[in-house]
Structure 1
Amino acid sequence: MESGSDKKTGTYIDLFSGCGGFSLGLGKAGWEGLFAVEKDPMAFDTFKHNLIEGKYAHFSWPEWLPMQATTIQDLLQQYPEELKSLKGSVDLIAGGPPCQGFSLAGRRNASDPRNKLSEEYMRMVEIIAPKYLVLENVRGFNSKFKDLSGKQEKVPYSMIVKARLEELGYKVFTDYLHSEQYGVPQKRTRFIMIGIRADLPVGEIAPFNILASIRSDFLHSKKLPLTPVSVKDAIGDLEVSNSSLIYHSGSQTQGFKQIDYKPPRRLTAYQKLMREGLRRTKPNSLRIARHRPETIEKFKTILELCKPGKGLSDEHKKALGTRKQVISVLNPFEPSRTLTTLPDDLLHYSEPRILTVRENARIQSFPDDYVFKGKYTTGGSRRTQECPRYTQVGNAVPPFLAEILGVLIKKLISNKV
């Protein structure tokens, strides 16, 4: 199984990179980054700290591009000649255009302006003409929308993107991937589009069949079982009951506390992987939410009422006086439900609280030495403008999923299929 220690055999650009889940996985698979595009300063700060300057650095950033948050639109306007000079020399463009307009978890809106970001993605593809493309999105990207009259539109937006990429000279393959099949302790189904430039001599291949065939080797290389990793196996060592709480920030009496992590003598296979080479080093982002006493009591009731792994019923929601659309308790013996950017969608399986950012990061397959930067949460009108830590993690491509996609594309390049 190929890993990040192998010779680097391919350059890539990460568009809509967020805090770096896709790039972390590609780096582990042996890819060399050229640059990344992310508009949010907090998410880019996390990306830069870990992937440009830190332990997981693997970018040869171009001199003409400032190392800061930016948008594809700005890039296209300010650096047209520099982008044109890259034509044909980049192996891969990876990215998942922001998908809130397609998400089945929220209100799906065909005219959401964020959906237009896919068009900017395709403009970059047209200019740079990479050999390969990997586009990751939510399931809803491949679902039909209803128009304003209530009638279903005939074509899912993904098929419009696919047709456009085919016009640009790519063979395009699509499928759904289930993250829990690739070592991620989370039921997170994603729509994946793989593009291969039509002039490349790859013959009649089926990328998703190849992906299925390398799955067991991939998991074996990580010493993980073929069966899905459970939530408790992923985050059981981070329980408050196993640790003491220490001061984090704010006033000594009313401020935030954080878990004083001490690794147990015995870690699960997944926890060992997350803590590889770290010994007693404590991860960051272990701040505990500051719940009011009445909220803790409500959470205790939900832990009693809610069947683990299932959502709270309408009847129970009414009895508890909550209007939240989604709230569920994790099942410790199964992978997590899909993480979202709203931290109170999921409650801990045995403690009356929401998860810490670090627990969410574990569930997404980020290692413990991946450092998250910026605010923890954002409220009110800033929610659509800012990308705090919980949002960074919830929006990320799980690094393990990105890694196996990186291994797949390397196999296609080397023709070892």
Structure 2
Amino acid sequence: MKLGSNKKAGTYIDLFSGCGGFSLGLGKAGWTGLFAVERDPMAFETFKYNLIDGKYNHFNWPSWLPQESTTIQDILENYPKELASLKGSVDLIAGGPPCQGFSLAGRRNSSDPRNKLSEEYMNMVKIVSPKYLVLENVRGFNSKFKDAKGEREKLPYSMVVKARLEKLGYHIFTDYLHSEHYGVPQKRTRFIMIGIRSDLFQNDIDPFQVLASLRLDFLNKKNLPNRPVNVKSAIGDLETSKYPLIYHSGSITQGFKKIDYKPPRRLNAYQKLMREGLKGIKPNSLRIARHRPETIEKFKTILELCQPGKGLSDEHKKIIGTKKQVISVLNPKEPSRTLTTLPDDLLHYSEPRILTVRENARIQSFPDDYVFRGKYTTGGSRRTQECPRYTQVGNAVPPLLGEVLGELIKDIKCSLK
């Protein structure tokens, strides 16, 4: 099936929008945003800077809703009439409810209150009754938890959500998508749920078969190869050895530095896509971490011991003296492992340091002129309450994945007319 640039998309609402990866992708696929909901002020600041006030603006934001961080619950309570007036007129609700309690990469917790945010998503669906739904989450969303006695629960939470949405009048399809199949230089497997309102549904439609038929055309449209993009191709032009380090912030002698980036004369296909139309413009968030000398020595040891692309073994952890659950070195010849919100989970493939926010953004497929705002990191008790730049990028839906999902729903929408 061919992608049609002349096909009209429609309007959408982005729930749990974060810094805007999903919305950026939907905008590039031709969708018009109505509004987005994000609780964290820093993540919403990034969203607003780029997608409401900036180059990537494609929102017709309603006058009744302030352009500020908020929650679905607050909107449901404060604007019931305004939401009711939208019933049936919105084409798509998209979103990825916070997933930390479901993640297989951390400590899975069935009672994590963030798990229940999927119910807020469903409450909004019930009131607005959009024509289509897309819900994105981690693989663990579709895995069974163990209860307090160590016994597996009967249903994964995804199936509870599916049943609830079917009761609201949607045909629901689910599958796993591998981001590296759609140009993202990262092995990021995501559980995707797609809903089609029953009055629109036709029996011969299978969204995931349609998506498979769109894949090659999507990659061709982006001038990307039909093979996974590797880490070196994604961030090789951002290595610190290629540029002088210049002052970024803090004191002149002890403060942070950044690379003085100048685009190389020859960019590969992926780098060209990330820098499309930018010429000599430098991306933001190139600040280099300020590692202590002993940390640099530890990272050098890890680079020597760790098999690229694999996690440190327990034996190697003992040698290094770390109890950290996950730490690995990027393999330059493969897509990255899944990015997380913790910047020291992954080390650079050839330099003894963590990645910059911009390198993480490249691996997530954010273009170089997408500007990240707010703190770089946070720690301690604030870690679960704030969303600094590393967290914003780690939590995001890769824009390329959001774009191909936007193309998919647009294609289905046109075929069902």
**CA 1:215 to 1:416, structure 2 compared with 1: closer, same or farther past 3 Å?**
farther
Q: Does 1:172 align with 2:175?
A: no
Distance in 2, matches of 1:416 and 1:113, equals 38
Q: CA deviation at 1:7?
A: 6.5
Q: Tell me, what secondary structure is at the counterpart of 2:89? A: coil
1:221-259 deviation per Cα after TM superposition (whole angstroms, max 9, x unaligned) = 011001000000000000001111000000000000001
2:332 corresponds in structure 1 to 332
Partner of 1:210: 210
- CA drift at 1:8: 4.7
Task: Provide the rounded CA distance (Å) in 1 between the counterparts of 2:290 and 2:180.
Answer: 31
2:356 matched to 1:356? yes
Give the TM-score, by structure 1 length: 0.98
Q: Take 2:321 and 2:206, find their aligned partners in 1: how far apart are those partners?
A: 51
Amino acid at match of 2:165: L
1:284 paired to 2:320: no
Q: Match for residue 320 of structure 1?
A: 320
1:271 pairs with 2:266? no
Which residue in 1 is equivalent to 2:129?
129
Superposed CA RMSD in Å reads: 1.2
Alignment of 1:10-409 (within 5 A): 10-409=10-409
Q: Distance in 2 between matches of 1:50 and 1:416?
A: 33
Q: 1-side partners of 2:329 and 2:151: how far apart?
A: 36
For residue 267 of structure 1, report the CA deviation from its aligned partner: 0.7
Q: 1:257-299 deviations in whole A, cap 9, x for unaligned?
A: 0011011111110000000011110000000000000100110
Letter aligned with residue 34 of structure 1: L
Q: Distance in 1 between matches of 2:294 and 2:344?
A: 15
Alignment partners' CA distance in 1, 2:54 and 2:389: 18
Once the 2 structures are TM-superposed, how far is the Cα of residue 416 of structure 1 from its aligned partner?
7.6
Amino acid at match of 2:209: N
Supply the distance in 1 between the matched residues of 2:227 and 2:275 (Cα, whole angstroms).
21
1:204 is displaced (CA, Å) by: 2.1
The alignment's TM-score, normalised by the length of structure 2, stands at 0.98
Counterpart residue type for residue 256 of structure 1: F
AA at the equivalent of 1:331: N
Letter in 2 for 1:228: P
**SS in structure 2 at match of 1:94:** strand
Superposition deviation, residue 409 in structure 1: 0.3
Residue 202 of structure 1 and its aligned partner are, at CA, apart by: 3.1
CA distance in 2, matches of 1:7, 1:194: 20
Amino acid at match of 1:177: L
Distance 1:286 1:45 in 2: 19
Measured against aligned partners, the alpha-carbon deviations of 1:94-148 in whole angstroms (never above 9, x if no partner) come to 0000011100011111111111100110000000000000000000000001111
- 2:7–2:410 CA contact under 8 A, matched in 1: no
For 2:45, give the aligned amino acid: D
For 1:117 and 1:107, locate their aligned partners in 2 and report how far apart those are by CA, in whole Å: 18
Count of residues paired in the alignment:
416
Distance 1:330 1:98 in 2: 26
Which amino acid in 2 is paired with 1:200? Answer: L
Could you say if the C-alpha distance between residues 59 and 8 of structure 1 is closer, same or farther in structure 2, counting changes exceeding 3 Å? farther
Name the CA distance, whole Å, in 1 between partners of 2:6 and 2:391.
Answer: 32
Q: Aligned partner of 2:336: which letter?
A: S
1:205 Cα shift?
A: 1.1
Distance 1:133 1:14, change over 3 A: same
Q: Distance in 1 between matches of 2:27 and 2:6?
A: 10
* Contact 1:177–1:191 under 8 Å retained in 2: yes
Aligned-pair identity in percent equals 81
Partners of 1:94 and 1:323 in 2: how far apart?
38
- How far off is 1:9 after superposition? 2.5
- On the 8 A contact 1:40/1:386 being kept in 2, the answer is yes
Deviation at 1:201, TM superposition (A): 4.4
Do the aligned residues in 1 keep the contact of 2:171 with 2:201 (CA within 8 Å)? Answer: no
Separation (CA, whole Å) in 2 of partners of 1:21 and 1:318: 38
Please, which runs of 5 or more residues in structure 1 have no aligned partner?
Answer: none
Q: Output the CA distance in 1 between the equivalents of 2:49 and 2:142.
A: 34
Contact 1:8 1:32 survives alignment (8 Å): no
User: Aligned with 2:307: secondary structure?
Assistant: coil
Alpha-carbon distance between aligned partners in 2 of 1:349 and 1:76, rounded to the nearest angstrom: 46
* Counterpart-to-counterpart distance in 2, 1:324 and 1:244: 32
- Give the whole-Å Cα distance in 2 for the aligned partners of 1:270 and 1:99: 29
| 1:38-66, Cα deviation, whole Å (9 max, x unpaired) | 00000000000000010100000000000
Which amino acid in the other structure matches residue 243 of structure 1?
Y
Amino acid at match of 2:27: G
1:60-87 per-residue CA deviation (whole Å, 9 max, x = no partner) reads 0000000000000100110011000000
User: SS at 1:414's partner residue?
Assistant: helix
Aligned-pair CA distance for 1:315: 0.5
Instruction: Classify the secondary structure of the residue corresponding to 1:193.
Output: strand
| Cα distance between partner residues in 2 of 1:124 and 1:343 | 33
Q: Aligned partner of 1:251: which letter? A: S
Helix, strand or coil at the partner of 2:288 = coil
C-alpha contact (below 8 Å) 1:50/1:56 kept by paired residues: yes
Indicate if the aligned counterparts of 1:6 and 1:30 stay in contact, CA closer than 8 A: no
- Once the two structures are TM-superposed, the CA of residue 340 in structure 1 deviates from its matched residue by 0.1
Contact 1:26/1:403 (<8 A) preserved: yes
